[in-house]
RNA sequence: CGGGGAGUGGCGCAGUUUGGUAGCGCGCUUGCUUUGGGAGCAAGAUGCCGCAGGUUCGAAUCCUGUCUCCCCGACCA
């Protein structure tokens, strides 16, 4: 391709809309344009990148025995009503774009395809003899994100590869899950990405095991914790660790203290000369359950620890045997609205009486009491006295009528010891989630009543797995991981072009002739090559070539008359002069080994 | 949804406080010169100043409404 015909529009200034480097570079390099909030056009070079990524994904999915398909983007609401997700996905903070057609039928734009694929499987897969089956598609997904961000990283319309597998039993599901795990590792490696797989929470999708694949980059939205020995890695939402030990209090009798205005752990500890780890803090939250109940929750946590929301929601869900729609701290306003005035915020102890809820207008009238292991393990501790401006020192759980059952509710943090091997510690990194694999189990097949006939002639819901890769996000993550101060450094496997021939001075006949020769020779070898034939000054072309990040550059310059060219590697800026024939051989060797 | 910021030529911005009919840099067009790291000179083109009302002799500027975009948050008492 000739650059003069490429519709290459590069920008010197950074567009104001872009915050992170990869977003800026994709805009400046002429790869993407914003059309609306979270909506982007993939310009020709970007589309080539996406196609190359998709090709790698297809090859690996096919190799793993999956079948490509293409499902509709318009989903009838009935389908989602059958799985019970229509309401949650469309009402309020719902993530699904939805509409009514001219007949008044309700439709949604697919944010994910469990409903469609599962009901199809229910129609097509009648016997255990047809199983297992693994279906995938590469397609645009629509999600009305609360806050679209960072270009392609969190768009409202994005390209995703999603796959769904169907099995007769759990063991078979596990087998395919691990096949997918290996396929994913190969995909990311082939794309030239440094990705780690981490234990993950399966979140709203539900199911048993789940793993995320994270491209490590400082701009990542997720915090991941990795052990020194590499044996353990998890999303912070899911990560476990051994909390640092704290010095036990020297035994003393329980005492009540005046602590005016000391409502924070920090304030309390600096005034009383306590250590945060010797205090039990009690958080007051409200969980909204699937059946509409509003359940007040009291969480006891060692003062130096932080609450992990995801673990909390999962625990509340397990204890109440219900889905949790929302779980958030209770504010003074909430209390006022409920007509409660007897909760001394900032001075709450784990034994806060249920009586304080007696006057609540819509809340459940008793607390769900939870405690993190770090709190229940303390022999003696300080805590709130349930009275304004008072705390208790040297309290024990016996004084409080016993400790709640121990739960893991705390955030694991970098520097803490690992559970699998206390001699190793956790390090933290930031990551961009580019893939996620789940063992869904029978959640959707049961909800949609999609069954096959098993060996014994009985109907049984499928065991399912689902496996996603954010294709457009992956492309931007690659830029986030591979760039320098002059531009993008595409990994060769997904670069829009493999090489670019730059004619330094297009007015110079010798340069022009050699450039054209080299260009057509490369084309004949099948290398996807660009020729910068623009009548721009050399500097402009070099800057653009750096910016758009083509892995190999052949400069046809001053030595063109004697057939000498410069071969430059984008990733390390290494430059070597050599006869043009040799340069082509060299390129063939690295690009077509 | 809450908080903050911004909408002025393709991109980046000034002008708004104090109302007087729109400007700078980059880019674009033409010509000459230059030609290895975003050239120089000259001459040009491009604006419903987000949109709709209002105030005024007069509005990018003041008032009201509205739309859009970006950032932070929806986090621990």
Question: Is residue A42 situated within a structural domain?
Answer: yes
Closest nucleotide to A23: CA versus each C1': B70
Specify the DSSP class assigned to residue A147: S
C1' (B7) to CA (A530) span, angstroms? 38
pLDDT at A206: 59
Task: Say yes or no: A371 and A297 in one domain.
Answer: yes
C1' (B19) to CA (A16) span, angstroms? 30
Task: Say yes or no: A403 and A464 in one domain.
Answer: no
Nearby residues of A510 by Cβ (< 8 Å), 6 or more positions away? A560, A561
Task: Say yes or no: A54 and A192 in one domain.
Answer: yes
C1' (B22) to CA (A436) span, angstroms? 53
ipTM: 0.93
Task: Say yes or no: A323 and A462 in one domain.
Answer: no
Nearby residues of A457 by Cβ (< 8 Å), 6 or more positions away? none
Q: Is the CB of A10 under 7 A from strand B?
A: yes
Q: Is the CB of A284 under 7 A from strand B?
A: yes
Q: Per the confidence metrics, is the pTM higher than 0.90?
A: yes
CB distance A33 to A43 below 8 Å? yes
Question: Is residue A250 situated within a structural domain?
Answer: no
pLDDT digits (tens, 9 = 90+) for A167-217: 999 999 999 999 999 999 999 999 999 999 998 877 656 567 889 999 999
Task: Say yes or no: A236 and A261 in one domain.
Answer: no
C1' (B5) to CA (A317) span, angstroms? 39
Give the domain extent around A57. Answer: 3-73+110-240+428-479
Q: How many domains does chain A have?
A: 3
Name the residue with tokens 């992990």. Answer: A308
| Cis ω for the linkage preceding A24 (within 30 of 0) | no
Closest nucleotide to A38: CA versus each C1': B69
C1' (B59) to CA (A12) span, angstroms? 34
Residue A420, SS3 per DSSP: coil
pLDDT at A163: 97
Q: Output the CA torsion A488→A494→A497→A498 (10° steps).
A: 100
Nearby residues of A107 by Cβ (< 8 Å), 6 or more positions away? A74, A75, A76, A77, A98, A99, A100, A101
Q: Output the CA torsion A160→A161→A162→A163 (10° steps).
A: 180
C1' (B14) to CA (A589) span, angstroms? 54
Q: Residue ranges of chain A with pLDDT lower than 70?
A: 92-93, 203-207
CB distance A532 to A568 below 8 Å? no
Q: Is the CB of A34 under 7 A from strand B?
A: yes
Domain end call among A350, A378, A407: A407
Q: Is the CB of A309 under 7 A from strand B?
A: yes
Q: Is the CB of A504 under 7 A from strand B?
A: yes
Task: Say yes or no: A459 and A387 in one domain.
Answer: no
Task: Say yes or no: A399 and A328 in one domain.
Answer: yes
Task: Say yes or no: A14 and A161 in one domain.
Answer: yes
Beta strands A463-470 and A483-484, pairing class: unpaired
C1' (B46) to CA (A484) span, angstroms? 35
Distance from C-alpha of A504 to C-alpha of A89, rounded to nearest angstrom: 56
Q: Is the CB of A36 under 7 A from strand B?
A: yes
> Partners of A451 in the beta sheet?
A461
Q: Is the CB of A151 under 7 A from strand B?
A: no
pLDDT at A93: 65
Residue A239, SS3 per DSSP: coil
Domain end call among A372, A407, A442: A407
Distance from C-alpha of A116 to C-alpha of A95, rounded to nearest angstrom: 17
| Domain containing residue A33: CATH number | 3.30.930.10
Q: Is the CB of A14 under 7 A from strand B?
A: yes
N- to C-terminal Cα distance for chain A? 23
Question: Is residue A415 situated within a structural domain?
Answer: no
**DSSP track, A120-132:** HHHHH--BGGG--
Question: Is residue A105 situated within a structural domain?
Answer: no
Task: Say yes or no: A320 and A269 in one domain.
Answer: yes
pLDDT at A203: 63
C1' (B14) to CA (A217) span, angstroms? 37
Q: Is the CB of A578 under 7 A from strand B?
A: no
Distance from C-alpha of A445 to C-alpha of A435, rounded to nearest angstrom: 23
Distances (CA, A) of A517 to A18, A503, A528, A578: 40, 11, 15, 15
C1' (B54) to CA (A87) span, angstroms? 44
Question: Is residue A54 situated within a structural domain?
Answer: yes
| Domain containing residue A568: CATH number | 3.40.50.800
CB distance A304 to A277 below 8 Å? yes
Sheet of A390-395: strand order equals: A255-258, A390-395, A381-384
Task: Say yes or no: A234 and A309 in one domain.
Answer: no
Name the residue with tokens 């025995």. Answer: A65
Task: Say yes or no: A65 and A212 in one domain.
Answer: yes
Question: Is residue A84 situated within a structural domain?
Answer: no
Q: Which nucleotides of B are covered by protein (CB under 7 A)?
A: 1, 11-13, 25-27, 34-39, 68-77
Residue A27, SS3 per DSSP: helix
Closest CA relative to residue A403, chosen from A303, A299, A305: A299
Distance from C-alpha of A467 to C-alpha of A161, rounded to nearest angstrom: 8
Task: Say yes or no: A51 and A171 in one domain.
Answer: yes
Closest CA relative to residue A248, chosen from A416, A382, A443: A382
Q: Is the CB of A350 under 7 A from strand B?
A: no
Tokens encoding A255? 């005492």
Q: Is the CB of A60 under 7 A from strand B?
A: no
C1' (B27) to CA (A553) span, angstroms? 26
Q: Which of residues 555-574 of A touch strand B (CB under 7 A)?
A: 555-559, 566, 568
Distance from C-alpha of A434 to C-alpha of A153, rounded to nearest angstrom: 9
Closest CA relative to residue A511, chosen from A545, A486, A541, A544: A541
How many C-alpha atoms does A134 have within 13 Å on its Cβ side? 25
Ramachandran category for residue A544: left, alpha or beta (phi over 0 → left; psi -120 to 50 → alpha):
alpha
Q: Which of residues 67-126 of A touch strand B (CB under 7 A)?
A: none
Closest nucleotide to A28: CA versus each C1': B11
Q: Which of residues 417-446 of A touch strand B (CB under 7 A)?
A: none
pLDDT at A288: 85
C1' (B2) to CA (A14) span, angstroms? 30
Q: Is the CB of A147 under 7 A from strand B?
A: yes
Question: Is residue A414 situated within a structural domain?
Answer: no
Question: Is residue A147 situated within a structural domain?
Answer: yes
């Amino acid at each position: 391709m000739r650059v003069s015909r490429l519709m290459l529009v590069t920008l010197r200034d950074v567009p104001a809309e872009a915050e992170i480097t990869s977003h800026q570079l994709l805009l400046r390099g002429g790869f993407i344009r914003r059309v609306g909030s979270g909506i982007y056009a993939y310009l020709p070079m970007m589309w080539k990148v996406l196609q190359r990524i998709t090709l790698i994904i297809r090859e690996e999915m096919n190799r793993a025995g999956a079948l490509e398909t293409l499902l509709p983007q318009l989903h009838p609401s009935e389908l989602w009503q059958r799985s019970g997700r229509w309401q949650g996905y469309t009402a309020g903070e719902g993530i699904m774009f939805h509409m009514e057609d001219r007949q008044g039928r309700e439709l949604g734009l697919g944010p994910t395809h469990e409903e469609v694929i599962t009901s199809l499987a229910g129609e097509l897969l009648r016997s255990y003899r047809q199983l297992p089956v693994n279906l995938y598609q590469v397609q645009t997904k629509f999600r009305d994100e609360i806050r679209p961000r960072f270009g392609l990283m969190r768009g409202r319309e994005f390209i995703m590869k999603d796959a769904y597998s169907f099995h007769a039993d759990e063991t078979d599901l596990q087998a395919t899950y691990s096949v997918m795990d290996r396929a994913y590792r190969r995909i990311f490696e082939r794309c030239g990405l440094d990705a780690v797989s981490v234990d993950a929470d399966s979140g709203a999708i539900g199911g048993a095991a789940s793993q995320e694949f994270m491209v490590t980059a400082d701009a990542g939205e997720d915090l991941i914790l990795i052990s020194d020995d590499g044996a353990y890695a998890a999303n912070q939402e899911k990560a476990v660790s051994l909390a640092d030990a704290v010095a036990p209090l020297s035994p003393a009798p329980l005492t009540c203290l005046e602590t005016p205005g000391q409502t924070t752990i920090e304030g309390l500890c600096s005034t009383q000369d306590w250590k945060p780890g010797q205090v039990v803090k009690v958080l007051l939250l409200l969980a909204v359950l699937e059946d509409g109940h509003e359940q007040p929750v009291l969480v006891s946590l060692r003062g130096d620890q932080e609450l992990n929301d995801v673990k909390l929601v999962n625990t509340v869900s397990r204890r109440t045997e219900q889905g949790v729609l929302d779980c958030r701290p209770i504010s003074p306003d909430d209390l006022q609205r409920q007509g409660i005035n007897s909760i001394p915020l900032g001075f709450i102890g784990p034994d806060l009486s249920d009586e304080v809820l007696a006057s609540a207008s819509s809340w459940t009238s008793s607390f769900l009491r939870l405690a993190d292991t770090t709190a229940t393990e303390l022999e003696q501790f300080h805590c709130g006295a349930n009275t304004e401006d008072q705390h208790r020192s040297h309290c024990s759980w016996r004084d409080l009528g016993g400790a709640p059952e121990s739960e893991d509710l705390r955030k694991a943090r970098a520097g803490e010891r690992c559970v699998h091997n206390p001699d190793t510690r956790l390090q933290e990194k930031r990551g961009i989630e580019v893939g996620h694999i789940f063992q869904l189990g029978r959640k959707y097949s049961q909800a949609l009543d999609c069954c096959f006939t098993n060996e014994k002639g009985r109907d049984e819901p499928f065991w399912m797995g689902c496996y996603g890769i954010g294709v457009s996000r992956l492309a931007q993550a690659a830029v986030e991981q591979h760039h320098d101060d002059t531009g993008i450094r595409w990994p060769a496997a997904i670069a829009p072009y493999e090489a670019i021939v730059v004619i330094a001075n297009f007015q110079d006949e010798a340069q022009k002739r050699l450039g054209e020769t080299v260009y057509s020779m490369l084309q004949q070898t099948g290398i996807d090559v660009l020729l910068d034939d623009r009548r721009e000054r050399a500097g402009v072309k070099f800057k653009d070539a750096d910016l758009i990040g083509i892995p190999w550059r052949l400069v046809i310059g001053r030595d063109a008359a004697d057939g000498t060219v410069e071969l430059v590697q984008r990733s390390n800026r290494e430059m070597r002069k050599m006869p043009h024939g040799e340069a082509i051989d060299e390129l063939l060797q690295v690009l077509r080994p």
